[in-house]
Amino acid sequence: MAPSGDPTLGRRLGLTDAVVIGLGAMVGAGVFAAFAPAAAAAGSALLVGLAIAAVVAYCNATSSARLAARYPSSGGTYVYGRERLGGFWGYIAGWSFVVGKTASCAAMALTVGYYAWPDAARPVAVAAVVALTVLNYTGVQKSALLTRVIVGVVLAVLVAVVAIVAASGSADPTHLALSTDVTVGGVLQAAGLLFFAFAGYARIATLGEEVRDPARVIPRAIMTALGIALVIYTAVAIAVLAELGPALATATAPLADAVQEAGAGGFAPVVRVGAAVAALGSLLALILGVSRTTLAMARDRHLPHALAAVHPGFGSPHRAEVAVGVVVAVLAATVDLRGAIGFSSFAVLLYYAVANAAAWTLGRRLVPAVGLAGCLVLALSLPLTSVLVGAAVLAIGAAVYAVRRRR
């Protein structure tokens, strides 16, 4: 709950809204941004990596759902870690989420740009961030309504892609068979990268203060969104891998390429529009989640307390929204897409490691233990640059915490 004296956010979201926000965050990230780098790591074992990522995501979702039912306030694992493990672990979770998901926001903004207008990708990315920040500023209900429209469009495009590939007869089922050059390290790295695609359900938990009947709605919404996303990812991964085979690893727009190879090149522009819309939905949900965790950390003065303000008319954390939007816009203008995905995956896996450790203290410890181990293994299996940069940023956060405690 908000500390005494700090304004709270209104409970405006129902089950459908929460599920759609989670789906909006996941589908845009996974289908259009993560498959190609994961295929570069795992090759024909892409589906094995997807299965491993799904198992870890299930454990994380189960742990998050149990914790969200007990602590239905903004902040997600920042709050759970603080309440179950102590202030330092809550802070580390919040720091990991804010920096990791800020990188995710930049990755999604760039995905919008590369699909919508490749020659002007960065200006388009910055414009998308500004537009969605303004929308979020005006209240969560408008964001939820737009997300419903986006998710509907994206699901229709994905169903069409799978149907086109399946009906073409040009897909090669042998591309799904494991080749001899598959390595355990490559599969685990692919799973770590694909985890980026599943992490969107965290947005549901971070909106805990804005969901009606959160003890019932949040756990149901998390598991429903995760289950729908897993079905979608599996169908699309099979279709794209069977159609493109090894070429998937180097594809810049794999779904559009798959449709082209299937002989339906006229549908490729529709896929590009769907990808841009999906990434917009993911970016919208990401900015919502990061701003709410920023709000929770500002309430505890781990971030400037001015960011804890709630707009008296819109009921949104407007200062946190603007601060997040400015940082994301700067990153979208400067960072590399694949590097942002790797760094984000590392930071968010650490965030969920804290969530599983917190859930372990509630009893029924098998699922949180598997989730904790899975998060740590996948985080350390990511590309070395992502691990080193992620560890450095984590160390900076810990140092800031230590200095603040001394003062």
Contact 120, 233 (CB under 8 A): no
Say which residue, 141 or 363, is predicted with more confidence: 363
Distance from C-alpha of 56 to C-alpha of 198, rounded to nearest angstrom: 9
Which amino acid is present at 214? P
* pLDDT higher than threshold 60 for residue 389: yes
pLDDT for 142 equals: 66
Residue given tokens 């004296």 in the structure block: 5
Give the C-alpha distances (Å, rounded to integers) separating 67 from 18, 256, 258, 290, 330.
Answer: 16, 39, 40, 19, 34
* pLDDT higher than threshold 80 for residue 16: yes
Contact 272, 253 (CB under 8 A): yes
* pLDDT higher than threshold 90 for residue 208: no
Burial letters for 86-104: b for 16+ Cβ neighbours within 10 Å, e otherwise? eeebbbbbbbbbbbbbbbb
pLDDT tens per residue across span 236-293:
999 999 999 999 998 877 888 899 999 999 998 999 888 888 888 778 878 887 888 8
Cα-based angle 216, 83, 352 (whole degrees, multiple of 5) = 70
Q: Can you tell me whether residue 94 is helix, strand or coil?
A: helix
Token pair listed for 227: 């289950």
* pLDDT higher than threshold 80 for residue 147: no
pLDDT tens per residue across span 75-117:
788 999 999 999 999 999 999 989 998 998 998 898 888 878 8
Distance from C-alpha of 403 to C-alpha of 387, rounded to nearest angstrom: 24
Q: Can you tell me whether residue 13 is helix, strand or coil?
A: strand
218: number of CA atoms within 13 Å, CB side?
A: 30
Burial letters for 226-258: b for 16+ Cβ neighbours within 10 Å, e otherwise? bebbbebbebbbbbbbbbbbebbbebebbbbbb
pLDDT for 29 equals: 57
pLDDT tens per residue across span 28-61:
656 777 888 899 999 889 999 999 999 999 999 8
Contact 101, 25 (CB under 8 A): no
pLDDT for 272 equals: 86
Distance from C-alpha of 316 to C-alpha of 292, rounded to nearest angstrom: 9
Average confidence score pLDDT of the chain: 87
Contact 87, 256 (CB under 8 A): no
Contact 276, 150 (CB under 8 A): no
Which amino acid is present at 373? A
* pLDDT higher than threshold 60 for residue 3: no
| DSSP codes, 2-41 | PPTTS------B-HHHHHHHHHHHHHHHIIIIIHHHHHHH
Which amino acid is present at 14? G
What is the assigned CATH class of domain 15-406? Answer: mainly alpha
- Count of H-run helices and E-run strands, the chain: 16, 0
